[in-house]
Amino acid sequence: MEYLHGGNVFLASRELGIPVEKIIDFSASINPLGLPESVKDALRENINLLIHYPDTECTALREIISKIYNIGIKSIIIGNGSTELIYLIPKVLRPQRVLIPAPTFSEYERAINREYKLQNTEHRIQIKYLLLQEENDFKIDTDEFINAMQGCDMAFLCNPNNPTGQVTNKDRMLKISEEARKQRCYLIVDEAFMDFIPEQSILKYAEENPYLIVLRSMTKFYALTGLRIGYGVAHPETIKRLKEFQKPWSVNTLAQIAGIYALKDFEFREKSIAYINDQKRRIEKNLRELGIRFFPSDANFYLIKHEKAQRIIREFYRKGILLRDCSNFKGLDSSYMRISIRSERENQVLLKEFASSFSSTQAF
């Protein structure tokens, strides 16, 4: 059972002999309400458009993003998930010294290392790690991050951070982004989970700052995981450079349509935020009662620490319940695991299993 990320339900289905729909996946942090109904209807109605090539400019989707966030359309780029953009950015901007906090999303490091291999140069791209402290709940210290940026020409910051769940509030993020401008260091802010706390976003500030790039994923909040759709906002000149290197037709027609209808569905947004917040309150209450240590989270998941985490992960896996093993995150060890917020029924199953495992002497 080896994987770099959560959400590998197909592998689990094959190994366990359980249908995919019977797997309860707490390892991937996807909105438990699933696809908006408006998106399902739109996909059915537009299926015949698949006979045509996709719009390479993703014009309609960029227009919707522009209208919703009051951002110039030339400051927006659409990607095959935000991960495409994470790999595209170092390819185009060619950094030499990069700051990455730890723990955080592993694709930043992989994208940098891949670009080094593609450059085929003797001078390896240097990665500087800022280790976040457990005693501070893995929060980003603004001044520490700014100091760490010195001498770097690129920095990644996941906000809220994955897998810790901590958000760096808007005021502190704007301070960091302004310092990035002064230091001429490209700051890549990954807001993959920001839809759950939209008031802390700095998306609309990116087009005016030539050293700020903000990324958004539509995987987490809108459950468009399998379609692969995300977008980035930056200064128009930066977007122009990125698009020159982007592969044609990287964003398929149905993904573009799904993105348009998802973003327009404000009722779904409000319903999702209310549902997630309600489930979070219940889960936190139960985790405290069970004496399970978890870290405060502003996203739709929790980082949990327990000395027997690996045994718990394996036992749950055999039952078709997937938890995210966090031992492969730099800065964490085998005692960490992550759980997402699922439906009320699934959350109850998880808590029941936790109660059984944590109270059983045989489990430890």
Domain layout of the chain by residue ranges: 9-35+267-363, 37-264
| pTM (whole model) above 0.85 | yes
SS3 for the chain is CCCCCCCCHHHHHHHHCCCHHHCEECCCCCCCCCCCHHHHHHHHHCHHHHHCCCCCCCHHHHHHHHHHHCCCHHHEEEECHHHHHHHHHHHHHCCCEEEEEECCCCHHHHHHHHHHHHHCCCCCCEEEEEECCHHHCCCCCHHHHHHHHCCCCEEEEECCCCCCCCCCCHHHHHHHHHHHHHHCCEEEEECCCHHHCHHHCCHHHHHHCCCEEEEEECCCCCCCCCCCCEEEECCHHHHHHHHHHCCCCCCCHHHHHHHHHHHHCHHHHHHHHHHHHHHHHHHHHHHHHCCCEECCCCCCEEEEECCCHHHHHHHHHHCCEECEECCCCCCCCCCEEEEECCCHHHHHHHHHHHHHHHHCHHHC
Q: What is the pLDDT of residue 124?
A: 74
| CATH fold for domain 37-264 | Aspartate Aminotransferase; domain 2 (3.40.640)
Instruction: Give the per-residue pLDDT at 93.
Output: 96
Position 116 scores a pLDDT of 66
Residue 8: the pLDDT is 87
Options 3.90.1150.10, 3.40.50.720, 3.20.20.140, 3.40.50.10320; CATH of 9-35+267-363? 3.90.1150.10
Intervals of the chain under pLDDT 70: 1-4, 6, 116-123, 359-364
Asked whether the domain spanning 37-264 has the same topology as the one spanning 9-35+267-363, the reply is no
